[in-house]
């Protein structure tokens, strides 16, 4: 019913504004049954992300953990994402090393931003960093570039987490979005930019959370065809500690950000939805979330009963999100979505191993 309505509205609009009927991709995602392994065999991992290089090869990144040793690993696909094989390691640490996000620049340089915290014997952070490293050999070897932000841990929560990288509209300025804690109950999304491939960074601007109380985190950004940006994030705003998903928008390529819109509120009152990412593919917004709304026991910090779902919407800054679709019923934390220039969308999840599945319109 809703599907045909969307089609009808799109058809009517395009008849009014143009003589060419522009087909809109169907909003209902179909999840491929083929899981593409991002990790090499025998390698478990979490926090999977994809990036594309100028030669159209794809890089996958994820965190593998062995005892207290965390390793940020990189795999590469030269067949459009059908198969991946290991290429290198960004960094290894017994600290709190995680949340790697890759960005391929036009000159072939690849930047990786990640959280890189020192911890004490109880694994409580003592020093926080968002670190940037680079590779000029397609992910095989990595060298240190800069700390975007670093600070000593205080007795109140003051961490920095979950960097997301994007190239600005000028094609050369790099933007990093990340979560910055003000206290245990309040966190903002900040953005800093670099005009020298990550060597130096501007002062932060606030993307979300400056005038609200809640844990705004896990930012992801996508760009509409008219240049407007949408930033999606999780927040506890207005829900006493439970997470839901919201968005903000920018009409000046990230320099300043507008009002908040709801993306998703989990169905069960005591459940959570968070860790979102977003892409725009074939004129459709696609968001990934993790949620414990189907679980009978809710322990978000222990990731109990976490499932990976996607939502879609027609492009709008206050989008009507729907068509919720399960990607996997297995425990799958910190998922992501990524789109190729061809319009293919990959949904990436991590449980026993990290994988990608293609999403198509059914
Ligand atoms: C949730 O999980 C955390 C971490 O595993 C644990 O410390 C906590 O006791 C759990 N909470 C409940 C209500 O079970
Ligand atoms: C840009 O495109 C989005 C998505 O179609 C739309 O919601 C927005 O109103 C457009 N214009 C501006 C100035 O953001």
Q: Measured in angstroms, how far is the CA atom of residue 238 from the centroid of ligand 2? A: 27
Three-state SS string across the chain, please?
A: CHHHHHHHHHHHHHHHHCCCCCCCCCCCEEECCCCEECCCCCCCCEEEEEEECCCCCEEEEEEEEECCEEEEEEEEECCCCCCCEEEEEEEEECCEEEEEEEEECCCCCEEEEEEEEEECCCCCEEEEEEEEEEECCCCCCCEEEEEEEEEECCCCCCCEEEEEEEECCCCCCEEEEEEEEEECCEEEEEEEEECCCCCCCCCCEEEECCCCCCECEEEEEEECCCCCEEEEEEECCCCCCCCEEEEEEECCCCCCCCCCEEEECCCCCCCCEEEEEEEEECCEEEEEEEECCCCCCCCCCCCCCCEEEEEEECCCCCCCCEEEEEEECCCCCCCEEEECCCCCEEEEEECCCEEEEEEEEC
Q: Is the CB of 17 under 6 A from ligand 2?
A: no
- pLDDT of 44: 72
- pLDDT of 41: 59
Residue closest via CA to ligand 1's atom 7 equals: 302
Q: Which atom of ligand 2 is closest in space to residue 226's alpha carbon?
A: 1
- pLDDT of 331: 77
Q: Measured in angstroms, how far is the CA atom of residue 278 from the centroid of ligand 2? A: 16
pLDDT in tens, 202-254: 999 999 999 999 999 999 999 999 999 999 999 999 887 899 999 999 999 99
- pLDDT of 191: 98
Q: Is the CB of 22 under 6 A from ligand 1?
A: no
Give CA–CA dist 50/269, Å, rounded. Answer: 33
Q: Which of 122, 123, 302, 303 to mutate to test the pocket of ligand 1 (most atoms within 8 A of CB)?
A: 302
Radius of gyration of the chain (CA): 19
Q: Measured in angstroms, how far is the CA atom of residue 29 from the centroid of ligand 2? A: 23
Give CA–CA dist 232/246, Å, rounded. Answer: 6
Q: Is the CB of 301 under 6 A from ligand 1?
A: yes
pLDDT in tens, 263-276: 999 998 889 999 99
Q: Which residue shows structure tokens 């590469």?
A: 76
Residue closest via CA to ligand 2's atom 12 equals: 228
- pLDDT of 29: 86
Q: Is the CB of 228 under 6 A from ligand 2?
A: yes
Give the Å distances, CA to CA, from 156 to 56, 124, 153, 208, 301. Answer: 44, 12, 8, 21, 19
Q: Which residue shows structure tokens 């987490």?
A: 161
- pLDDT of 43: 66
Token representation of residue 326: 């399960």
Q: Which atom of ligand 2 is closest in space to residue 318's alpha carbon?
A: 7
- CB of 285 closer than 8 Å to CB of 319: yes
Give CA–CA dist 37/357, Å, rounded. Answer: 9
Q: Which of 314, 316, 318 to mutate to test the pocket of ligand 2 (most atoms within 8 A of CB)?
A: 316
- pLDDT of 223: 97
Q: Measured in angstroms, how far is the CA atom of residue 184 from the centroid of ligand 1? A: 17
Q: Which of 113, 124, 122, 63 minimizes the C-alpha distance to 93? A: 63
- pLDDT of 40: 66
Q: Is the CB of 318 under 6 A from ligand 2?
A: no
Q: Measured in angstroms, how far is the CA atom of residue 33 from the centroid of ligand 2? A: 34
Q: Is the CB of 10 under 6 A from ligand 2?
A: no
Q: Measured in angstroms, how far is the CA atom of residue 231 from the centroid of ligand 1? A: 30
Which residues of the chain register pLDDT less than 70? 1-26, 40-43, 352, 361-362
Residue closest via CA to ligand 1's atom 12 equals: 299
- pLDDT of 144: 98
Q: Measured in angstroms, how far is the CA atom of residue 197 from the centroid of ligand 2? A: 29
Token representation of residue 303: 């990731």
């Amino acid at each position: 019913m809703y599907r045909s309505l969307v089609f009808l509205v799109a058809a009517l609009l395009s008849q009014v504004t143009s003589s060419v009927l522009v087909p809109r991709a169907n909003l209902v995602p179909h999840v491929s049954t083929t899981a593409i392994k991002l990790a090499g065999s025998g390698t478990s991992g979490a926090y999977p992300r994809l990036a594309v290089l100028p030669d159209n090869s794809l890089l996958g990144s994820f965190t593998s953990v062995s005892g207290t040793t965390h390793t940020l690993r990189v795999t590469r696909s030269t067949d459009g994402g059908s198969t991946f094989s290991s290429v290198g390691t960004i960094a290894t640490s017994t600290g709190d090393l995680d949340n790697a996000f890759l960005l391929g620049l036009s000159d072939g340089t690849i930047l990786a931003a990640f959280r890189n915290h020192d911890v004490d014997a109880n694994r409580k952070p003592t020093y926080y960093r968002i670190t940037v490293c680079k590779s000029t050999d397609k992910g095989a070897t990595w060298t240190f570039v800069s700390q975007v932000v670093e600070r000593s841990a205080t007795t109140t929560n003051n961490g920095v987490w979950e960097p997301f990288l994007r190239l600005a509209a000028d094609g050369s300025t790099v933007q990093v979005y990340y979560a910055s804690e003000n206290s245990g109950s309040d966190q903002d999304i900040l953005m800093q930019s670099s005009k020298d491939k990550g060597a130096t960074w501007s002062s932060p601007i606030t993307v979300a959370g400056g005038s609200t109380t809640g844990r705004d985190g896990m930012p992801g950004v996508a760009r509409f065809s008219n240049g407007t940006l949408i930033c999606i994030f999780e927040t506890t705003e207005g829900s006493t500690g439970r997470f839901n998903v919201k968005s903000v928008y920018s009409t000046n390529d990230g320099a300043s950000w507008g009002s908040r819109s709801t993306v998703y509120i989990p169905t069960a009152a005591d459940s959570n939805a968070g860790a979102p990412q977003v892409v725009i593919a074939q004129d459709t917004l696609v968001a990934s979330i993790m949620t414990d709304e189907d679980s009978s026991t809710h322990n978000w910090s222990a990731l109990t009963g976490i499932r990976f779902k996607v939502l879609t919407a027609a492009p709008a800054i206050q989008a009507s999100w729907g068509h919720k679709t399960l990607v996997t019923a297995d425990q799958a934390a910190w998922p992501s979505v990524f789109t190729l220039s061809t319009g293919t969308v990959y949904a990436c999840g991590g449980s026993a191993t990290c994988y990608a599945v293609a999403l198509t319109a059914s």
